[in-house]
Amino acid sequence: MSDRYDKGMEVRRSVLGDAHVDRAEAAKTEADVPFQTLITEGAWGNVWASDAISRRERSMLTLALLAAMGNFEEIPMHIRACAQTGASQSDIIEAFQHVAIYCGVPKANHAIKLAKQTWAEMELED
């Protein structure tokens, strides 16, 4: 694999955790190897690996963008990642408030619901 892939996998593991990445890798099939390579190199090896802004800020941006676009399936995963990136519950709520104003209250409301569910699950796991 490329250096960007290796860096992407390193960043992906540090943000999402080994258990999550191991599950994703185990579920990978021949059909989705090109897609997994793309996101590992592009999202994790390029965007998330950049030091132009902090990982805390990246988490807040990512969550706001996911909510704004209605891509709710990935919100719990990125809420969990905040334990590694340093984005607090308050930071996340602030990001979703921006979503409410600029993209719509229903999207922010659903994102907050998912965040609260995820935080409750995380408390039970501790």
C-alpha to C-alpha distance for 18 and 102, rounded to whole angstroms: 35
Confirm if 78 and 59 have CB atoms less than 8 A apart: yes
Look up residue 58 and give its two tokens: 């990246």
Look up residue 77 and give its two tokens: 């995963």
For residues 2-8, give the mean pLDDT: 95
Q: Which domains does the chain carry?
A: 3-43 (no CATH), 55-125 (1.20.1290.10)
pLDDT digits (tens, 9 = 90+) for 56-76: 999 999 999 999 999 999 999
Predicted local confidence at residue 126, as pLDDT: 79
